[in-house]
């Protein structure tokens, strides 16, 4: 009997642990296929393609196929370069440090611009460059949460080497007007780096039409396993390695190539491309249903940026009078997993405050992010749980 109760208790805990996962801007569940395609390279084909013998050379086709899938996913040309990295932040750090070596030291341009709503990698990497006598400049977004070309034009100077921005914010969902920013950069001879972690697989674009110099992304936001990421480099653009030691990946990153990870990232990229229409239509519909359902059941809620160009899977909303940490904790206890920032992100409240939202409102905001795996049933349950939790906490706050 005790064993039976133990199994029931374990099952209940596992079900609660699964919950309703609405934190897909932090990380996503690795797809079954992306995990499965790693196994042959961990179990049998474990050599390195840099070796000239048969054990190494038998990996060449798999590596080439993986690169081709990723190039197709990004819309890259054969003349472009791609570096497989261990994460998006690694790729961001490589872009910024290499720009110091390839731009600042050769031209004297030493100003690097980012924004107050960026993720930690860009802000901290530019902070490190300041110790190398570079100048970091952070700009504020407008009230729509956007970094416009006009805002950046006021910040740049003849010494500006690079502008580094996230293409879209993973907490608010706001998409930046990168085409306008790229035109400004081209006109002023400034390198442009975009982190595309949150927009890849969720919007169509042409990197070459836009005019980007560097593109970075985190693989585990594409349903690839953690420990995967990428750096796209426009053809002809200089980029020094972050990790030195040998000539793997064309000299862009030393160390034996993680063929298993590269293969899993390629599989995830293929799946993301195949499901892009689903994300843009069905997931966007579920996102809207979540917002409308919570508003209908708890009218005091304040969704943000609904009229802006935003990601199809993200929603940020405030619950006035309810501290977001208390709300997040209460939702977590009921198996609804959302986000208020932290970790690689800044706090959502700070991002909103930087966009001109009153602190009292910003401190009550929570971000919900869906994925292609989110179901209608989960959204319906989430609406009920979020609304009832907000009502309960609001009543508690008033007493």
* Residues 184-241 pLDDT 10s: 999 999 999 999 999 999 998 888 889 999 999 999 999 999 999 999 999 999 999 9
| DSSP SS3 for 351 | helix
Domain harbouring 353, CATH code: 3.90.1150.10
What are the tens digits of pLDDT across the range 24-42?
Answer: 999 999 999 999 999 999 9
Q: Are residues 256 and 305 in the same domain?
A: no
In this model, does residue 333 exceed pLDDT 90?
yes
Residues 172, 45: one domain?
Answer: yes
CATH of the domain at 148: 3.40.640.10
- State the pLDDT confidence band at 17, using cuts at 50, 70 and 90: low
Written as one string, the DSSP assignment of 214-268 is EEEEEGGGTTPPSS-EEEEE-TT-----SS-SS-GGGGTS-S---HHHHHHHHHH
- Segments forming the whole domain that contains residue 371: 8-24+275-398
pLDDT at 285 over 50: yes
Mean pLDDT for the chain? 93
207 lies in some domain: yes
**pLDDT band per the 50, 70, 90 thresholds, residue 49:** confident
Looking only at the bridges linking them, the beta strands covering 135-139 and 314-318 are: unpaired
Residue 239: the pLDDT is 96
- Are 280 and 381 members of one domain? yes
Helix, coil or strand: residue 306: coil
Residue 3 falls within a domain, yes or no? Answer: no
Residues 249 and 322 in one domain: no
The reply to whether 189 and 117 lie within a common domain is yes
Same-domain check for residues 324 and 394: yes
In this structure, are 333 and 314 located in the same domain? yes
Model confidence at 55, in pLDDT bands (50, 70, 90)?
confident
Looking at 273, 300, 331, the residue that finishes a domain is 273
For residue 2, being part of any structural domain is answered with: no
> In sequence order, what are the beta bridge partners of 42?
none
DSSP conformation class of 6:
H
pTM comes to 0.92
| 219 CB neighbour count, 10 Å cutoff | 31
Cβ atoms of residues 347 and 338 within 8 Å: no
283 band by pLDDT with thresholds 50, 70 and 90: very high
Q: What is the pLDDT of residue 272?
A: 96
Same structural domain, 364 and 246:
no
Residue 280 structure tokens:
């843009």
24 Cβ partners below 8 Å, 6+ apart? 221, 313, 369, 370, 371, 374
> Strand, helix or coil at 129?
helix
Query: Which residues fall within 8 angstroms of residue 277, CB to CB, at 6 or more apart?
Result: none
* pLDDT above 80 for 9: no
Residue 6: the pLDDT is 43
Is 1 within the bounds of a domain? no
Assess whether 119 and 166 both reside in one domain. yes
pLDDT band of 18, cuts 50, 70, 90: confident
Alpha carbon 309 to chain centroid, angstroms? 17
Q: Where residue 398 falls among pLDDT bands split at 50, 70, 90?
A: low
The answer on 266 and 310 residing in a single domain is no
Q: Is residue 317 part of a domain?
A: yes
User: What is the token pair recorded at 129?
Assistant: 């460059």
Structure tokens at 182: 């790229």
Average pLDDT over residues 180-187: 97
Quick one: 346 and 250 in the same domain?
Answer: no
Q: How far is CA 159 from the centre of its chain?
A: 29
pLDDT band at residue 56 under the 50/70/90 scheme: confident
**Which has the higher per-residue pLDDT, 67 or 398?**
67
Q: Is the pLDDT of residue 8 over 70?
A: no
Q: Are residues 212 and 168 in the same domain?
A: yes
Q: In this predicted structure, what is the pLDDT of residue 14?
A: 42
Over residues 169-185, mean pLDDT:
97
Of 273, 304, 323, the last residue of a domain is: 273
Domain boundary pick from 241, 273, 305: 273
pLDDT value at residue 16:
44
CA distance 389 to 391: 5
Query: For residue 206, is it within any domain?
Result: yes
What's the number of domains the chain is made of?
Answer: 2
Q: How far is CA 352 from the centre of its chain?
A: 18
Q: Would residue 36 count as lying in a domain?
A: yes
What percent of the chain shows pLDDT beyond 90? 86
Per-residue pLDDT of 352-395, as tens digits, reads 999 999 999 999 999 999 999 999 999 999 999 999 999 999 98
């Amino acid at each position: 009997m005790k064993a039976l109760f133990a199994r029931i208790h374990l099952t209940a805990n596992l079900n609660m642990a699964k919950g309703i996962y609405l934190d897909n801007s932090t990380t996503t569940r690795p797809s079954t296929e992306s995990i499965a395609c790693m196994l042959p390279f961990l179990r049998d084909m474990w050599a390195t393609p840099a070796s000239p013998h048969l054990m190494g050379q038998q990996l060449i086709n798999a590596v080439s196929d993986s690169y081709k899938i990723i190039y197709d996913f990004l819309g890259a040309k054969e003349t472009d370069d791609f570096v497989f990295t261990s994460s998006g932040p690694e790729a961001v750090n490589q872009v910024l440090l290499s720009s110091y070596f390839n731009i600042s030291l050769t031209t004297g341009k030493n100003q690097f611009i980012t924004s107050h709503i960026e993720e930690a990698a860009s802000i901290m990497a530019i902070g490190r460059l300041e110790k190398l006598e570079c100048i970091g400049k952070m700009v504020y977004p407008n009230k729509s949460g956007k970094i416009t070309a006009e805002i950046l034009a006021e910040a740049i100077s003849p010494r500006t080497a690079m502008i580094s921005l996230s293409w879209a914010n993973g907490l608010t969902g706001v998409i930046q007007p990168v085409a306008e920013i790229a035109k400004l950069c081209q006109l002023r001879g400034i390198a442009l780096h975009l982190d595309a972690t949150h927009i890849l697989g969720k919007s169509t674009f042409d990197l070459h039409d836009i005019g980007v110099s560097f593109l970075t992304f985190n693989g585990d936001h594409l349903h690839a396993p953690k420990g995967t990421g990428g750096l796209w480099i426009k053809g002809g653009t200089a980029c020094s390695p972050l990790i030195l030691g040998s000539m793997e990946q064309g000299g862009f990153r030393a160390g034996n190539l993680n063929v298993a990870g590269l293969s899993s990232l390629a599989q995830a990229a293929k799946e993301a491309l195949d499901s892009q229409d689903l994300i843009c239509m069905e997931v966007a519909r579920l996102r809207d249903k979540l917002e409308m359902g919570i508003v209908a059941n708890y009218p005091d809620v304040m969704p943000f940026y609904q009229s802006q160009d935003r990601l199809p899977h993200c929603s940020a909303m405030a619950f006035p009078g309810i501290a977001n940490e208390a709300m997040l904790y209460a939702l977590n206890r009921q198996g609804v997993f959302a986000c208020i920032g932290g970790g690689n992100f800044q706090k959502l409240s700070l991002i909103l405050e930087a966009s001109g939202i009153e602190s009292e409102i910003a401190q009550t905001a929570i971000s919900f992010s869906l994925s292609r795996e989110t179901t209608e049933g989960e959204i319906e349950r989430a609406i009920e749980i979020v609304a009832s939790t907000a009502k309960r906490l609001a009543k508690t706050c008033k007493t």
